[in-house]
């Protein structure tokens, strides 16, 4: 069972009867234990499902919020029946109140949380977001977010109701800026205005709407990992806090929380990983207000790029149209007996142009007046292809607030680049007793879904954008035509990995031109260790010259170790239990690095060609990033000093254990029959020793030795403590090192009169990680 994040909440004491029953995963949602949940446990029509044809199903309880592939019924109706699936399922007792701070995404998602820092990731910079309750990261204390998917940041209350134009920035000191562009910085934003650049930290941003964000790509990315033909392939959850999360990678997990002395109670969480997040997010079941569903080949029209062509009023000032909310700010749109969390809110007279994605085939929606106008309003709505001079696709006839929602059916939009939604006055043709002029003409375009010819090629920009690090590479080879994407759970990383699936004898080719320097002379591909080593047939050529790869550890040994570790955890029933603060068994990472050393081509512009071939009937690569690296930490490279006296040229005073028993080994790895050299990120280094855990090597110091210099890193796996001691005093230390990190240049002054220098690795880790001290020695 997948495990969840640390939770600082406690639940109230459960009745003894519920504890005895232990509330297994299949227990009804209405009966789950809830903390601070004022909603009634029993309500005859608590849950209501709005089906595709507008009909409804109601019931007092559900076994769970439906997920893809599940068979869930409400009031006897199959909610994922292909002929009439549920579009929306909501808890009628839930109240939604959007709580700041917020990070709003380009695909329409909303996150309760704050931007705190910009960090480097394998696929480029990522925004570190500190989540607010009820959202919780499944692992760690934050999530990493793609910066190109952030549409808006709201830092203070009262600013998030009406969205200002793109490029508008309000600061907490009252300043309002109009930005030509906004750049991300480590701890804030750089805002380019007509008057110059304004630097501000994240905590000083009251509201910022980013210009130039690609809405269409963000929306379609939600479809990438939604495989199968289920009408519920994509779920869009809205919480009582106002958060909205869209994901096809969702699981329902039962965890235990402390409810009293020596007692624990189950708590249900949904693990969701939106396309814009590098981590899964845990959502308490009782915080879910509603969830909408759509198929893998459907995209919401109300999330796509749109612009105002006309907007005027007969009475009063014109009101801007709204995405996925009403004029009053409600995020659930309701009118004419229909409800939806997706749609446009417009007012007569208006013309709204919405750009259709490539491959759009049909459009369906329903039109009604907002429930808030009662029986008022009087409008006519029309849909045109490309322009008002184009083909009229649909016309609603006159609609009043008392009328039921009018459905369009499936409108053919093949070959159409954009559609125009027109909300017309119906003053002259209004029925007797209807509102005159444009009074109460608040219109809702409900559940607007575009059905796509959804066969994205794996080499497309959209798909390559979902695979970290492919932004600068061009796709080629016939294999991209049949390759596809899937997902698998990464237990150590607490997230879903994208999986690149390659057919037999297919070749996927990636090419790019790059100038090689000491800052980028290693190509690194990160993947999960394969179950079958023949699945990973990966080759790199530099200017048509083949280059061999090095891996971060022996692939076969790592494959067996990870498989055995996973089996032992399942056999022993071990699990994390952060909420009860019980000790956990650390999950070993199955990340495997492939490295190609490009030192030979430094100071040259070269063409790189990376080829991935399918050898088996179906080959899978759990993709974790492709990048250029350097073997020595760039920020510390200036500390690198060549020694006058190398450690390998002098005899050590003592070695423990002996080299025959795996002790420190000169210029090669311990237990290596072929004398494997010291390597950092695949690059070879000499002039030092490699050491497993619980090893020591000591050297006598001479009066002329003034400095000790070395490159320190992990050659394989993950190592524990690494230290340098002078006369028994620690002068340099790192608590742990990873083979996936560059080596650290170390320069240590030697106090006058010192007698001994010791290199030491601690016994505090069970793994067989190997620490390397290379280019090590003394400066006179």
Of residues 41 and 437, more confidently modeled: 437
pLDDT of residue 110: 97
Helical H segments across 445-494, by residue range: 461-466
pLDDT band of residue 13 (cuts 50, 70, 90) is: very low
Of residues 312 and 258, more confidently modeled: 312
Helical H segments across 534-689, by residue range: 555-572
Helical H segments across 12-96, by residue range: 16-21
The pLDDT mean for the chain works out to 87
Give the side-chain half-sphere CA count within 13 A for 183.
9
pLDDT at 25 > cutoff 60: no
**DSSP-derived secondary structure for 112-168:** EEEEEEEEEETTEEEEEEEE-TT-EESSSS-EEEEGGGEEEEE-STTSSSSPPPTTE
Q: How far apart are CA 563 and CA 10, in angstroms?
A: 35
pLDDT band of residue 598 (cuts 50, 70, 90) is: very high
pLDDT band of residue 429 (cuts 50, 70, 90) is: confident
pLDDT of residue 766: 56
HEC string of 593-604 equals EEEEECHHHCCE
With beta carbons less than 8 A apart as the criterion, state whether 311 and 461 touch.
Answer: no
pLDDT at 98 > cutoff 80: yes
Residue among 252, 222, 251 nearest 234 (CA): 222
Three-state DSSP at 665 gives strand
Q: What is the mean pLDDT of residues 625-641?
A: 89
Three-state DSSP at 571 gives helix
Cis-peptide into 101, omega within 30 deg: yes
Q: How far apart are CA 300 and CA 444, in angstroms?
A: 14
- Number of neighbouring beta carbons within 10 Å of residue 200: 20
pTM, two decimal places: 0.84
Lowest mean pLDDT among 279-293, 301-315, 523-537: 523-537
Q: What is the mean pLDDT of residues 768-775?
A: 92
pLDDT band of residue 533 (cuts 50, 70, 90) is: confident
| CA dihedral sign of residues 656, 659, 662, 666 | positive
Lowest mean pLDDT among 64-73, 165-174, 190-199: 64-73
Lowest mean pLDDT among 179-183, 508-512, 659-663, 755-759: 659-663
Q: What is the pLDDT of residues 192-210, one digit of tens each?
A: 999 999 999 999 999 999 9
Q: What is the pLDDT of residues 696-741, one digit of tens each?
A: 999 999 999 999 999 999 998 888 899 999 999 999 999 989 999 9
Q: What's the chain's length in residues?
A: 780
Lowest mean pLDDT among 176-180, 233-237, 456-460, 671-675: 456-460
pLDDT at 178 > cutoff 90: yes
SS3 content of the chain, % helix, strand, coil (to 5): 10, 45, 45
pLDDT band of residue 637 (cuts 50, 70, 90) is: confident
């Amino acid at each position: 069972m997948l495990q969840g994040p640390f939770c600082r909440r406690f639940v109230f004491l459960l009745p003894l009867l519920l504890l005895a029953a232990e509330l297994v995963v299949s227990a009804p949602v209405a009966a789950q234990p809830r903390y601070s949940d004022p909603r009634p446990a029993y309500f005859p029509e608590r849950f209501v499902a709005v089906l595709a044809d507008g009909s409804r199903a109601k019931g007092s309880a559900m076994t769970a919020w439906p997920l893809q592939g599940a068979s869930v019924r409400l009031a006897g109706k199959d909610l994922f029946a292909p002929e009439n699936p549920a579009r929306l399922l909501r808890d009628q007792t839930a109240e939604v109140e959007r709580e700041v701070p917020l990070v709003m995404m380009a695909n329409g998602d909303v996150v309760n949380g704050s931007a705190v820092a910009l960090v480097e990731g394998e696929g480029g910079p990522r925004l570190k977001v500190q989540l607010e309750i009820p959202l919780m990261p499944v692992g760690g204390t934050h999530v990493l977010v793609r910066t190109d998917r952030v549409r808006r940041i709201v830092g203070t209350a009262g600013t998030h109701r009406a969205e200002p134009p793109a490029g508008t920035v309000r600061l907490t000191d009252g300043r309002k800026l109009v930005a030509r562009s906004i750049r991300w910085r480590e701890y804030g934003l750089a805002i380019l205005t007509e008057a110059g650049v304004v630097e501000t930290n994240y905590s000083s941003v009251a509201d910022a709407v980013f210009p130039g964000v690609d809405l269409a790509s963000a929306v379609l990315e939600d479809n990438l990992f939604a495989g199968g033909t289920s009408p519920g392939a994509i779920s869009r959850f809205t919480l009582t806090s106002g958060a909205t999360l869209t994901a096809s990678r969702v699981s329902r997990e039962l965890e235990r929380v402390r409810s009293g002395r020596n007692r624990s109670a189950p708590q249900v969480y949904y693990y969701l990983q939106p396309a814009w997040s590098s981590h899964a997010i845990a959502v308490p079941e009782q915080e879910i207000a509603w969830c909408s569903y759509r198929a893998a080949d459907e995209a919401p029209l109300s999330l796509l790029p749109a612009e105002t062509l006309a907007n005027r009023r007969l009475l009063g000032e014109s009101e801007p149209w709204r995405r996925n909310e009403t004029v009053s700010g409600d995020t659930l749109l309701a009118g004419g007996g229909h409800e939806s969390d997706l749609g446009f809110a417009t007012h007569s007279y208006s013309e709204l142009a919405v750009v259709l994605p490539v491959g759009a085939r049909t459009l369906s929606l329903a039109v009604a007046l907002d429930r808030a106008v009662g029986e008022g309003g009087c409008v006519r709505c029309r849909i045109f292809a490309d322009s008002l001079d184009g083909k009229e696709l649909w016309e609603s006839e006159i609609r009043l607030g008392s009328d039921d929602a009018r459905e369009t059916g499936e409108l053919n939009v093949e070959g159409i680049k954009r559609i125009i939604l027109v909300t017309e006055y119906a003053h002259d043709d209004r029925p007797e007793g209807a509102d005159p002029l444009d009074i109460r003409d608040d219109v809702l375009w409900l559940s607007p879904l575009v059905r796509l010819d959804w066969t994205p090629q794996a080499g497309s920009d959209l798909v390559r954008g979902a695979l970290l690090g492919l932004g600068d590479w061009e796709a080629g080879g016939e294999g991209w035509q049949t390759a596809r994407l899937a997902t698998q759970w990464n237990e150590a990383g607490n997230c879903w990995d994208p999986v690149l699936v390659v057919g037999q004898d297919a070749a996927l080719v990636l090419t790019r031109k790059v100038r090689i320097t000491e800052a980028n002379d290693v190509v690194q591909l990160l993947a999960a260790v394969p179950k079958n080593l023949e699945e990973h047939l990966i080759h790199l050529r530099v200017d048509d010259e083949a280059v061999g790869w090095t891996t971060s550890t022996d692939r076969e040994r790592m494959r067996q170790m990870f498989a055995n570790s996973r089996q032992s955890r399942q056999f022993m029933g071990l699990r994390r239990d952060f909420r009860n603060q019980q000790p956990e068994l650390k999950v070993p990472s199955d990340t495997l690095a492939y490295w190609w050393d490009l030192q030979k081509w430094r100071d040259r512009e070269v063409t790189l060609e990376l080829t991935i071939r399918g050898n088996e009937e179906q080959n899978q690569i759990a993709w974790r990033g492709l990048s250029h690296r350097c073997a020595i930490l760039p920020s510390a490279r200036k500390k690198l000093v060549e020694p006058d006296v190398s450690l390998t040229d002098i005899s050590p005073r003592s070695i423990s254990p002996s080299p025959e028993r795996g002790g420190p080994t000169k210029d090669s790895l311990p237990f290596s029959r072929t004398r494997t050299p010291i390597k950092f990120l695949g690059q070879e280094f000499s002039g030092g020793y490699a050491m497993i855990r619980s090893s020591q090597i000591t050297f006598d110091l001479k009066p002329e030795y003034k400095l000790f210099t070395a490159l320190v890193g992990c050659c394989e796996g993950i190592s524990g403590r690494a230290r340098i001691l002078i006369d028994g005093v620690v002068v340099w230390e790192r608590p742990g090192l990873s083979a996936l990190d560059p080596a650290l240049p170390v320069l240590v002054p030697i106090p006058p009169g010192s007698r001994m220098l010791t290199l030491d690795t601690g016994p505090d880790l069970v793994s067989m990680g190997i620490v390397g001290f290379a280019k090590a020695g003394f400066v006179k």
